[in-house]
Amino acid sequence: MLFLRSFFRSVGVQTSGIRECYVLGLLNTKLNAVIPYFGSMAMTVAATALAKGLHFILSASDVVMIYLAVSVFVAIKFGRGPSVLFSVLSCAAFNFFFVEPLYTFEMYNRSSWLTLLVMLVTSMVISGQAISLRRQESSVRQSRTDAENEKLRNLLLSSVSHDLRTPLASITGASSSIAQDGDKLPRETVKDLARSINQEAKRLEHIVSNLLDITKIESGAILLNRQPYFVDELIGAALSHVPSFSISHRFETKVAAGLPLVNVDGFLIEQVLINLLENAAKYTQDGSVITVLASLSGGTVEISVVDNGPGIPAGDEQKIFQKFYTGHKEKGGTGLGLSICEGIIKAHQGRIWAGNAAGGGAKFSFTLPVAPPVPAEVSDD
Amino acid sequence: MTDQQKIAVLVIEDEPEIRKFLKAVLASNGFNPGFAATAREGLVLLKSHVPEILILDLGLPDMDGLEVIKNLRSWSGIPVIVLSARGQEQDKIAALELGADDYLTKPFSAGELLARLKAALRRSQQSVLQASVVFEANGLYFHAQDRVVKVDDVEIHLTPTEFRLLALLVKYAGKIVTHKQLLQDVWGKNSSENNHYLRIYTQHLRQKLGDDPLKPRFIITEPGVGYKLRI
């Protein structure tokens, strides 16, 4: 076995060496097509060496079995052409090394021809079976991913079209009513209609920008404008947006002293914090306390947003980061906010996770990479 | 109020529906709005009508809005408010660096627009009056020539770098000063990449002023863009 392994290793080294020599695309493609045949040859040598090594305890039929077993491996690993090559080569090797007279392609016994023929046919049939098995498996895998993608697409379409149509319907209705009967309607009614147009348009804007963000993140089109920041600045900036989504929650902060600078896209991390704060406000009652914590943890800065609401239902800790997953339909979220957070944090090579705080409320945490130390000592005049 | 008493504002915006909305809001709030649908037309009107403030859309059909700011700043200092689409962060920063005063991200409400217009006008009037280089707001007192800084009447001792940083924020009080502007003006031309310095000195300055970055009283953080002194 040791011999086999080192043999493979030497083949592997050799092929990768060849690959490095011919970096030209076309040659490389040709080479990739040829490599399995070399593999097949190598396997013939390996199987022969193995059989030869164990020859003193093996009968001729055992040797045939070794070749057949390896032929299955070759078929699965290298495909049809190389497996046919292996069948032929192994028959030849069997004849050469194991059939009297040894080390010639001749044979004394006519029945050896039959052995060889049966070996060739069996090896080919087994390989054929193995290959079709491999194909089936990969096509099952392919159709499974296709189905999953299809399901996701449908979910996206139905979710988006519903979320977009509802505000559009209100806007169309309210604005057409003002356009048609504006002069007959009481002033207060006109104002009411205008307010609902405004509110629904904001909802649309929210959905559309979320969709754009998630598309940007998923397509990898997101370019990070990384700069050093102190996290308290980013938390402060995010907290200044609170009035746009909450007037009744109490926001508190516990930021450890002396935290190092983090190396992040400040605008995007502010978005993550706003999303988490808004999420906390949405799922807790008026007057609840929402706390932002920041501390140093294992060489990264860890930030958490904790609330004292009902917490996350057991088993939902991961699901809530999935696209279009909303904890409560009636809260009217798009189910994209947390996916966006996850996308942004992952783009920063950070981690984001959810769980419940000791007190029972929900706790969302993420880590941010610490900035490299200041280039030179900052000198003040 | 006659048209003469109203504040002349020029809007350069190619979207007819946005122009319509701006016309309604501006006309009913003490402004006398003029409109241009292209950058070329806008540049002509800027010279012939001499408005007191400009509202400029960055996505114009015939010319980059940034070019309009560059052209305007070579001969006029009137406040400019830039309208941009979401995601054009780099354009906003470029506009500020070319001399725009503020930006609004579309979609925006009538209330937001009026607040920005009033702040920009107040700032430009102050900077005309305020050759005296004394700044006072929210309990912060700053005297450039005497090099005196006080918070709630208590004198604060700043290092020369901290003082330069604060002086620059005071000079543009109420307006965002970008990272690059701060670095170049405080540390010199070649420092535009050393954001570390900026963070660390801003932190020192805040500590001395007793300004909590979590609830800023004086210096407001605009992530990705710069800092702004509250007025």
List, for residues A43-91, the tens digit of each pLDDT value.
Answer: 888 888 888 888 778 777 788 888 888 888 888 788 778 888 888 888 8
State which amino acid sits at residue B79.
P
Chain B CB contacts of A237 under 8 Å are 220-223
SS3 B42: helix
Q: What are phi and psi of A359, to 5 degrees?
A: -75, -5
Is residue B156, in this structure, part of any structural domain at all?
yes
- If asked whether residues B76 and B151 sit together in one domain, one would say no
Of the three residues B129, B162, B180, the one that is the final residue of a domain is: B129
Q: Which H/E stretch holds residue A290? A: strand A289-297
- If asked whether residues B175 and B105 sit together in one domain, one would say no
Q: Do B221 and A237 touch (CB under 8 A)?
A: yes
* Residue A156: predicted pLDDT: 67
Q: Do A255 and B214 touch (CB under 8 A)?
A: yes
Nearest chain A CA: its distance from B16 CA (Å): 18
Nearest chain A CA: its distance from B102 CA (Å): 17
Strands A300-307 and A262-265 come out as: unpaired
Which residue, B57, B48, B9, B55, is CA-closest to B30?
B9
Nearest chain B CA: its distance from A17 CA (Å): 42
- If asked whether residues B12 and B97 sit together in one domain, one would say yes
- If asked whether residues B112 and B11 sit together in one domain, one would say yes
How many domains does chain B divide into? 2
Mean pLDDT of chain B: 89
* Residue A100: predicted pLDDT: 78
Chain A CB contacts of B220 under 8 Å are 237, 240
Identical fold at A146-218 and A226-369?
no
Q: Do A233 and B109 touch (CB under 8 A)?
A: no
pLDDT one-digit tens code per residue, A284-335? 998 899 999 999 998 899 999 999 988 888 888 888 888 777 766 555 567 7
Nearest chain B CA: its distance from A309 CA (Å): 23
Nearest chain A CA: its distance from B207 CA (Å): 12
Residues B167 and B145: their CA atoms lie apart, in Å, by 11
- Average pLDDT in the A242-250 region? 88
- Whether A283 contacts A315, CB under 8 Å: no
Which residue, A159, A205, A165, is CA-closest to A324?
A159
- At residue A6 the predicted structure's pLDDT band, cuts being 50, 70 and 90, is very low
Chain B CB contacts of A236 under 8 Å are 212-216, 221
CATH number for the domain whose boundaries are A146-218: 1.10.287.130
Q: Do A236 and B201 touch (CB under 8 A)?
A: no
Q: Do A233 and B89 touch (CB under 8 A)?
A: no
Q: What are phi and psi of A124, to 5 degrees?
A: -65, -45
- If asked whether residues B112 and B151 sit together in one domain, one would say no
- At residue A221 the predicted structure's pLDDT band, cuts being 50, 70 and 90, is confident
Angle at A34 between CA A33 and CA A39, to 5 degrees: 115
Of the three residues B78, B107, B129, the one that is the final residue of a domain is: B129
pLDDT one-digit tens code per residue, B152-211? 999 999 999 999 999 999 988 888 999 988 998 888 867 666 788 899 999 999 999 999
Q: Do B223 and A228 touch (CB under 8 A)?
A: no
Nearest chain B CA: its distance from A82 CA (Å): 54
- Whether B150 contacts B141, CB under 8 Å: yes
State which amino acid sits at residue A377.
E
- If asked whether residues B42 and B110 sit together in one domain, one would say yes
- If asked whether residues B82 and B95 sit together in one domain, one would say yes
Chain A CB contacts of B225 under 8 Å are 267
- If asked whether residues B48 and B104 sit together in one domain, one would say yes
Q: Which H/E stretch holds residue A268? A: helix A266-282
**pTM for this one?**
0.69
Which residue, B25, B57, B17, B18, is CA-closest to B38?
B57
Closest CB to A380 among B161, B213, B220: B161
Residues A376 and A317: their CA atoms lie apart, in Å, by 43
Mean pLDDT of chain A: 81
Closest CB to A380 among B89, B159, B216: B159
The residue that leads in pLDDT, A99 or B98, is B98
Q: Do A201 and B107 touch (CB under 8 A)?
A: yes
Which tokens hold the place of B167?
């002086």
Of the three residues B92, B109, B129, the one that is the final residue of a domain is: B129
The boundaries of the domain holding residue B35 are 7-129
* Residue B162: predicted pLDDT: 93
Q: Which residue of B has its CA nearest to A236?
A: B214
pLDDT one-digit tens code per residue, B81-98? 999 887 677 888 999 999
- Whether A66 contacts A51, CB under 8 Å: yes
Check whether the bond before B51 is cis (ω within 30° of 0). no
- Average pLDDT in the B218-230 region? 93
* Residue A63: predicted pLDDT: 82
CATH 3.40.50.2020 is the classification of domain A226-369 = no
- Whether B221 contacts A237, CB under 8 Å: yes
- At residue A14 the predicted structure's pLDDT band, cuts being 50, 70 and 90, is very low
Residues A269 and A279: their CA atoms lie apart, in Å, by 15
Is residue B189, in this structure, part of any structural domain at all?
yes
Nearest chain A CA: its distance from B160 CA (Å): 6
The yes-or-no verdict on residue A199 having pLDDT over 60 is yes
Is residue B2, in this structure, part of any structural domain at all?
no
Residues B63 and B84: their CA atoms lie apart, in Å, by 15
- If asked whether residues B13 and B108 sit together in one domain, one would say yes
- Average pLDDT in the A192-207 region? 89
| In chain A, residues 155-214 whose CB comes closer than 8 Å to chain B | 198, 201, 205, 209, 212
Q: Do B196 and A261 touch (CB under 8 A)?
A: yes
The yes-or-no verdict on residue A106 having pLDDT over 80 is no
- Average pLDDT in the A197-215 region? 86
- If asked whether residues B73 and B178 sit together in one domain, one would say no
* Residue A163: predicted pLDDT: 76
Q: Which residue of A has its CA nearest to B219?
A: A233
Rounded-to-10 torsion of CA B198, B200, B205, B210: 130
* Residue B96: predicted pLDDT: 92
The yes-or-no verdict on residue A8 having pLDDT over 50 is no
- Whether A305 contacts A353, CB under 8 Å: no
The yes-or-no verdict on residue B40 having pLDDT over 50 is yes
* Residue A76: predicted pLDDT: 79
Residues A280 and A277: their CA atoms lie apart, in Å, by 5
* Residue A329: predicted pLDDT: 53
Q: Which H/E stretch holds residue A156? A: helix A111-181
The yes-or-no verdict on residue A19 having pLDDT over 50 is no
- Whether B75 contacts B48, CB under 8 Å: no
- Average pLDDT in the A253-260 region? 94
Strand order in the sheet with A250-255: A250-255, A289-297, A300-307, A362-369, A352-356
Q: Which H/E stretch holds residue B229? A: strand B226-229
Residues 6+ apart with CB under 8 A from B85: B58, B59, B105, B106
- If asked whether residues B183 and B205 sit together in one domain, one would say yes
Domain ranges of chain A: 2-143, 146-218, 226-369
Distances (CA, A) of B228 to A265, B80, B167: 19, 17, 12
**Which value does ipTM take for this structure?**
0.83
- Average pLDDT in the A234-246 region? 91
Q: What is the CATH number of the domain that holds B46?
A: 3.40.50.2300
Is residue B54, in this structure, part of any structural domain at all?
yes
pLDDT one-digit tens code per residue, B55-85? 999 989 999 999 999 999 998 889 999 998 8
- At residue A369 the predicted structure's pLDDT band, cuts being 50, 70 and 90, is very high
| Residue B119 Rama label (left phi>0; alpha psi -120 to 50; beta) | alpha
- If asked whether residues B155 and B199 sit together in one domain, one would say yes
Chain B CB contacts of A370 under 8 Å are none
| In chain A, residues 267-306 whose CB comes closer than 8 Å to chain B | 267-270
Q: What is the CATH number of the domain that holds B178?
A: 1.10.10.10
Closest CB to B223 among A205, A261, A267: A267
Rounded-to-10 torsion of CA A202, A208, A209, A211: 150
- Average pLDDT in the A17-33 region? 51
* Residue B1: predicted pLDDT: 60
Is residue B111, in this structure, part of any structural domain at all?
yes
* Residue A379: predicted pLDDT: 53
Closest CB to A375 among B86, B179, B196: B196
pLDDT one-digit tens code per residue, B8-32? 999 999 999 999 999 999 999 999 9
